[in-house]
Amino acid sequence: MTFSSVLVANRGEIARRVILACREAGLRSIAVYSDADADAPYVRLADDAVHLGPTAAAESYLSIERLLAAAAESGAEAVHPGYGFLSERAEFARAVAEAGLVFIGPTADVMDAMGRKDRARAIAEKAGVPVMPQFSAEAVPVDAYPVLVKAAAGGGGKGMRIVREPSALAAAIDAAGREAASAFGDDTLLVEKYVEAGRHVEVQVFGDTAGNVVHLFERDCSVQRRHQKVVEEAPAFGLTDDLRRTLHDSSVALCREVGYTGAGTVEFLVADGQAYFLEMNTRLQVEHPVTEVITGLDLVQWQLLVAAGEPLPLGQDEITATGHAMEVRVYAEDPYAGFLPQAGHVLDVAWPLDARVESDLEGDAEVSTAYDPMLGKIVVAGTDREDARRRMVAALDDTGVFGVTTNLGFVRRLVASEAFAAGDMHTAWLDSDASADLLTAPAVPEESALAAARLWARHELSGSDDPFGRLDGWRSGGDPAPTRIALVDETDRLWTSALSDDEIDDAEGIAIIDHDRITVAWQGQTWMFETPDPMRGGHRAGAATDADLVSPMPGTVLRVDVAAGEAVTLGPQLGVVEAMKMELALTAPYDGIVSHVGAAAGDQVPIKHLLFTVDPT
């Protein structure tokens, strides 16, 4: 079946990616948007756009009824689900087909089979794909630990818990089941052997309606935190030819077994020279650009062709890989506070020029907690892994997001680290003590303060046409005096610099200046400096005291475990807040008395809401 128009049932950078692919293919694109995304760039980019509903995903991007109504209203003939939201929901694929539209992805029956980890595992075994040892939740052998409890439905690391001893199994099953039910509406769990230092390697596959199946090589996605990918690269490095062949052949065999069509990814855990099947993602992956870079192919164009009934453009022998590609995900999150998602107003953004950038983020935009906190992706290509790594470090140095806390500084430190350069990282590395230094908030570096001073001086010198108002150190007799700049950082540390004209003229960097404040991006991290105010004390107004425990994100209070007046000791849990589908425990910071409880179980609270105050004893 052919089609001439595509409804893009998603938002943000993936919606933009698909809209551009449709334009290149000569297809009419229709964007959909919630109240929060009414002014988003991807909406303006599309040929047409339809309003779905309120900001809440359940009433917009997760509403099958509203998406089908948008398709009917706009005259769309096909639907591309992107990734996330409804992209792996068989009921959505089935509803699209029943409405007489083309679903750009595998069939609903295949999604039913492969979208659940338990069914996919059974099919993999039938196809001869190596699988991980599995156990009954009621009878896990004592010598089997550590084990991984994971949701049978969904993905993205949600509903997963590592269990290292029998006494912790029941609590892990309870928490994982609750999280899975919240995220996927299904609390079915699997218990499998957990490999401590394995690598996550996945194979990109494609099938067409004529039964042809090919692989487009593999990617390494081992750098993860809480099962969420941070850095991806292609091809995977350090694999033997035999292991690489096993990964490719097993993935193609699995697709043939299930009759797969469209783009998909078969994921494996690699350890001690062995590969174990994890799951199959029946959609386009976030990290698909690294495969595009090494193969020179456009996977979204392939999706459109296959959905229109066309055969795969190339056979297996015609697909080649060249060089090395690397991708980092840019998130609105605080890596130094447990990777908590962040929200707020983006004042401005600077993306690198010498890299492929996949993002729909512009300056003067709002980052909401209603959706996934990923802001974009930065992709580089190199002749080999080390060349790609160096190019990524340079690209991150040229990137800045101002106004919202991001992980940019963290991923820059990560990619520049000796451990990453050596390829020593595995799926649990970021969650282990080995990453302690990277996850410790860095002090303000002298270089960033000097860069801020130089840029501030240039700003001040160019800000006045009055020669007597310029801070250029001019004097009637002798050479100009050095320009002295004094700035205060966020920790109230005073930085002073005496700068010559040459130093000011040579000033380079990424920064924004707002009145008496400059925020400079230095090696991915943003640092804010202000001109000193002698009337302000060392403590910043509005700062919370050590006794206050506030909600780190807008969310729902799941539990309140203490009452006002109760004595607590260092460490015990005071309560639990659920934010962005994550459960965040708030614990006593020291021995003391609870003097304030600011919420009850079930309450919706905003960010920074005061939940507990503990007065030290």
Q: How confident is the model at residue 539 (pLDDT cuts 50, 70, 90)?
A: very low
Strand order, beta sheet including 555-560: 582-587, 573-579, 555-560, 604-605
- Residue 471 pLDDT level (bands cut at 50, 70, 90): low
What is the CATH T-level fold of the domain 5-104, as seen in this structure? Rossmann fold (3.40.50)
Task: Tell me the whole-structure pTM to 2 decimals.
Answer: 0.85
Q: 535 vs 298, which has greater pLDDT?
A: 298
Residues 14-21, mean pLDDT to the nearest whole number = 98
Query: What residue type is 288 in one-letter code?
Result: H
The domains of the chain are located at 5-104, 133-193, 199-435, 446-530, 548-616
Instruction: Assign domain 446-530 to its CATH architecture.
Output: 2-Layer Sandwich (3.30)
Distance, in Å, from the CA atom of 87 to the CA atom of 214, rounded to the nearest integer, reads 22
The average pLDDT across 7-15 equals 98
Segment 277-293 mean pLDDT: 96
Supply 214's token pair.
């090919």
Check residue 552 and give its pLDDT. 75
Each residue of 354-399: pLDDT tens digit? 999 999 999 999 998 889 999 999 999 999 999 999 999 999 999 9
Q: For residue 564, what pLDDT is reported? A: 92
- Decide if pLDDT at 127 tops 70: yes
Report percent pLDDT > 70 for the chain: 93
State the CATH class of domain 133-193. alpha beta
**Residue 450 and residue 442: Cα distance in Å, rounded?**
17
Q: What is the pLDDT of residue 538?
A: 42
- Which pLDDT score, from 0 to 100, does residue 502 have? 80
β-pair type (548-550, 610-616): antiparallel
| pLDDT surpassing 50 at residue 540 | no
- Record the tokens describing residue 406, joined without a space: 């991001």
**Predicted local confidence at residue 543, as pLDDT:** 41
Q: At what angle do helices 299-307 and 12-25 cross, to 10 degrees?
A: 60
Domain 199-435 fold is: D-amino Acid Aminotransferase; Chain A, domain 1 (3.30.470)
Side-chain half-sphere CA neighbours of 218 within 13 A: 30
437 confidence band (pLDDT: 50, 70, 90) = very high
Q: Which stretch of DSSP H or E encloses residue 178? A: helix 169-184
The residue length of the chain stands at 617
**pLDDT score recorded for residue 370:** 87
Is the domain covering 548-616 a CATH 2.40.50.100 domain?
Answer: yes
Residue-level pLDDT at 457: 85
pLDDT band at 478 (very low <50, low <70, confident <90, very high): low
Structure tokens at 184: 């996927």
- pLDDT at residue 509 in the model: 85
Structure token digits, residue 386? 């080390």
What are the tokens at 401? 């997001």
**Number of CB atoms found within 10 A of residue 538's CB:** 7
